[in-house]
Amino acid sequence: MQSEIPFLYEDNHLLVVEKPVNMLSQRDITGDPDLLSLLKQKLKEKYQKPGNVYLALVHRLDRPTGGVMVLAKTSKAAARLSAQIRNNVFKRSYLAVVHGILRQKEAILLHYLRKNRQTNMVTAYRRKSLGAKEAKLTYQLLETNNHFSLVKVQLHTGRAHQIRAQFAAVGHPLVGDQRYGQNLTRPGQQLALWAFAVSLEHPTLKKRMTFTSYPAQVFPWAYFKRLKGNLIKE
């Protein structure tokens, strides 16, 4: 299983992996294979544990999104990492390819997002709206190619479909987004969103640690020179 889910780091408290695209973070009603269950089984076999394995998700990625994910191997680590997320100590950076050429090299996007639970769609508003939650991100334009822009995104809030909904709201939906960029997306096209880096304070060692991974050289990532040379810094 480790060959299917690459391990980036492991110790007594942390497990950091590269989540494959189109894999669930956690089991749902579909019954499809999910990251958490597969990793629990892997650890059970690796350490020959007779009972249940403790492993907790610290954060989640949407099914079509691949990249760095952090899991806690102890309840102490889970509690401390969850506190880091609440206090904005736990930092997440994403790479995305969006339609169009962004005018600003760096910008902050601020919207108010409301999720429709029946359709699982998020609506973005410019101003405060009843039932909508504030969503904030910062993006940096890294490179352009033809009709696409490669951006690095820093989340300041962790809302459902935040990156996808916010870029769609400013007229630059993500490449391959079946929900928020339907008019520009072919059926079956892969979403161009990748969890590039996670930076955190180790829950027991108290030192700053950063983990990164890069998307595979396929469409549309293969269009960009900086990705080919791994020239993007966290």
Q: Which member of 11, 32, 62, 177 is catalytic?
A: 62
62 in catalytic set:
yes
Q: Is residue 233 part of a domain?
A: no
- Per-residue pLDDT tens over the stretch 132-163: 999 999 999 999 998 999 999 999 988 989 99
- Per-residue pLDDT tens over the stretch 78-136: 999 999 999 999 999 999 999 999 999 999 999 999 999 889 899 999 999 888 999 99
Q: Is residue 72 part of a domain?
A: yes
* pLDDT for the residue numbered 183: 85
* pLDDT for the residue numbered 177: 95
Query: What CATH number has the domain bearing residue 141?
Result: 3.30.2350.10
Question: Taking Cα atoms as reference points, which of 163, 149, 156 lies closest to residue 194?
Answer: 163
Q: Is residue 199 part of a domain?
A: yes
230 versus 224: which is more confidently predicted?
224
State the total domains in the chain: 1
Q: Is residue 2 part of a domain?
A: no
* pLDDT for the residue numbered 50: 85
Parent domain of 171: 7-228
pTM of the model: 0.92
* pLDDT for the residue numbered 134: 96
For residues 6 and 139, give the distance between their C-alpha atoms in angstroms, rounded to a whole number: 27
Highest mean pLDDT: which of 4-13, 45-54, 221-230?
Answer: 4-13
* pLDDT for the residue numbered 187: 84
Q: Is residue 181 part of a domain?
A: yes
For residues 225 and 145, give the distance between their C-alpha atoms in angstroms, rounded to a whole number: 9
* pLDDT for the residue numbered 93: 95
Which string of DSSP letters, residue by residue, matches the chain?
Answer: -TTTS-EEEE-SSEEEEEEPTT-BSS--TT---BHHHHHHHHHHHHTT-SSPPP-EESS---TT-EEEEEEESSHHHHHHHHHHHHTT-SEEEEEEEEES--S-SEEEEEEEEEEETTTTEEEEESS--TT-EEEEEEEEEEEEETTEEEEEEEESS--TTHHHHHHHHTT-PBTT-TTT-GGG--TTPPP-EEEEEEEEE-TTT--EEEEE----S-TTGGG-HHHHTT----
Model confidence at 210, pLDDT cuts 50, 70, 90, reads: very high
Q: Is residue 234 part of a domain?
A: no
- Per-residue pLDDT tens over the stretch 175-196: 999 999 988 888 889 999 999 9
For residues 203 and 90, give the distance between their C-alpha atoms in angstroms, rounded to a whole number: 11
Q: What is the mean pLDDT of residues 205-215?
A: 95
Q: Is residue 134 part of a domain?
A: yes
